[in-house]
Amino acid sequence: NHWYYGVEGATHYPYNYITNDNVGGERDVRQCLDAIRACIKEHPTKKIILFGCSRGASTVVTCLVSLEKHELSMIKLVIVEAPFDSVPSVLATYNTCTIIQYALEKFSYYNKDQTSPLDAVSDTRFPLDVPIVFITSDADTIVPRTNTMRLVEKLRERDHTTLRHIELKNSHHSYVSMHNKEDSLTYHSAIHDLYNKYCQ
């Protein structure tokens, strides 16, 4: 595991250890929901913005189906960078797909039957009126653009009323706001516009 993450360049935080991992599954979603509800309780008059990148983005997308209407009314904007539509789908882009899938199923908390982000956005409980922006980059090889676009297309098909897609060209995974100057300008300009529109 240390070798894999060393090669991939990920840091050795506890959530990266395969024995603690569930890749946006039930444990991640439960922790996210707990944090959102704690925030609402502590700041009942504040406007809330949800943000996630990669696994975190997939967790945020998935947890939206479990929030009550009064909780959703507090959320003014959801920003997700490179969420994957499902674990098997994103693993299919790797040459080591079978090994990683086996390791996840054998040694981690990952459950192949867990609710995926694609399941979530297809669910009738998914809010179609909470502003959400998906951010992708053509240069992302960790979660390819096509993987995220399945979520975007499903929500467009369901007539989501405030969906936005920011498409970048040259930025690497998890660095889209700062990796490339041109992309950074596009990213920050779009996000500031969304803040002004939904969060003032």
- End-to-end Cα distance, the chain: 44
Nearest residue to 81 via CA among 133, 126, 122, 43: 133
| Spatial separation of the C-alpha atoms in residues 169 and 175, rounded to whole Å | 12
Predicted confidence (pLDDT) at residue 1 exceeds the cutoff of 50: no
Confidence label for 110 from pLDDT (cuts 50, 70 and 90):
confident
Coil, helix or strand for 165?
strand
Question: Which has the higher per-residue pLDDT, 180 or 138?
Answer: 138
CA distances from 127 to 28, 48, 70, 188 (A): 20, 15, 12, 25
Q: Which residues pair with 167 in a beta bridge?
A: 136
What is the percent of the chain with per-residue pLDDT over 90, rounded to a whole number?
Answer: 65
Q: What is the pTM of this model?
A: 0.86
| Nearest to 90, CA basis, from 114, 58, 66, 113 | 58
Cβ-contact 151, 164 below 8 angstroms:
no
Extract the tokens encoding 108: 């981690």
- The residue that leads in pLDDT, 172 or 132, is 132
Residue 38: pLDDT above 70?
yes
